[in-house]
């Protein structure tokens, strides 16, 4: 082998090593930098201030006898509570189908899950299943809050729970 060929091989090896290092640095920087790719408001995680985090999800209203007799006793809707929890916790995965999660509104994806029954759906959401962590990754949620979100998502996807 000639001297020129040996030098050329060494030069090519050095270029490959340097190129690999530069490529690895670019990949690491891209993976560790947070980008906003123009996500819609529905898929963004809701950032709340600490006062709103401590705010109770529901309030109890005591009404007088006269109002009860009039039939004006209205209970807060679980769908309102469920929708609020979905926007804050579930939408990130269930609007995009991340990691195989069923998309909200996709009847075909939800049908086999809904067929298993409300209790199993809620149990799986509370305890986690496959790639989904327990309570969707928010351990602060109560079982009732998770149940409200599951029922709301299932009903929005062809169910009647």
Is the model's pLDDT at 137 over the cut of 90? no
Greater confidence (5 vs 24) lies with 24
Lowest mean pLDDT among 1-15, 21-35, 76-90, 99-113: 76-90
**Residue 63 domain-assigned (yes or no):** yes
Give the total number of structural domains in the chain. 2
CATH of the domain at 115: 1.10.760.10
Give yes or no: residues 102 and 31 share one domain: no
**Residue 16 domain-assigned (yes or no):** yes
Any idea what DSSP says for residue 129? B
Tokens, residue 60: 């109890």
- What's the Rg (C-alpha) of the chain? 26
Q: What mean pLDDT is predicted for residues 100-110?
A: 81
Give yes or no: residues 58 and 25 share one domain: no
* Predicted confidence band of residue 43 (pLDDT cuts 50, 70, 90): very low
Greater confidence (27 vs 130) lies with 27
**Residue 73 domain-assigned (yes or no):** yes
Q: What percent of the chain has pLDDT over 90?
A: 12
Give yes or no: residues 57 and 134 share one domain: yes
* Backbone angles phi and psi of 62, in degrees to 5: -100, 130
Is the model's pLDDT at 105 over the cut of 70? yes
Secondary structure class of 40 (helix, strand, coil): coil
Is the model's pLDDT at 14 over the cut of 60? yes
Greater confidence (37 vs 84) lies with 84
Is the model's pLDDT at 11 over the cut of 80? yes
Is the model's pLDDT at 152 over the cut of 60? yes
Give yes or no: residues 30 and 56 share one domain: no
**Residue 86 domain-assigned (yes or no):** yes
Please state, as a whole number, how many other Cβ atoms lie within 10 Å of the Cβ of residue 16.
Answer: 10
Is the model's pLDDT at 12 over the cut of 80? yes
Give yes or no: residues 54 and 9 share one domain: no
Give yes or no: residues 82 and 31 share one domain: no
State the chain's mean pLDDT as an integer: 75
Secondary structure class of 132 (helix, strand, coil): strand
* Predicted confidence band of residue 64 (pLDDT cuts 50, 70, 90): low
Domain with 6 in it: 1-35
Q: What is the pLDDT of residue 140?
A: 80
Give yes or no: residues 54 and 80 share one domain: yes
Give the CA angle between residues 102, 104, 107 to the nearest 5°: 75
**pTM recorded for the entire structure:** 0.48
Give yes or no: residues 127 and 55 share one domain: yes
């Amino acid at each position: 082998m000639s001297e020129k060929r040996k030098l050329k091989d060494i030069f090519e090896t050095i270029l490959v090593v340097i190129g690999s290092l530069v490529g690895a640095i670019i990949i690491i920087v891209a993976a560790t930098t947070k980008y906003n790719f123009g996500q819609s408001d529905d898929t963004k995680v809701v950032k709340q201030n600490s006062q709103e985090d401590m705010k109770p999800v529901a309030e109890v209203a005591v009404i007088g006898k006269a109002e009860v007799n009039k039939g004006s006793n209205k209970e807060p809707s679980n769908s309102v509570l469920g929708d609020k929890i979905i926007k804050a916790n579930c939408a990130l995965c269930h609007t995009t189908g991340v990691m195989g999660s069923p998309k909200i509104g996709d009847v075909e994806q939800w049908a086999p899950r809904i067929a298993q029954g409300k209790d199993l759906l809620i149990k799986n959401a509370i305890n986690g299943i496959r790639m989904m962590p327990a309570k969707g990754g928010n351990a602060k949620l109560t079982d009732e809050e998770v149940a409200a979100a599951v029922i709301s998502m299932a009903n929005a996807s062809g169910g009647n729970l």
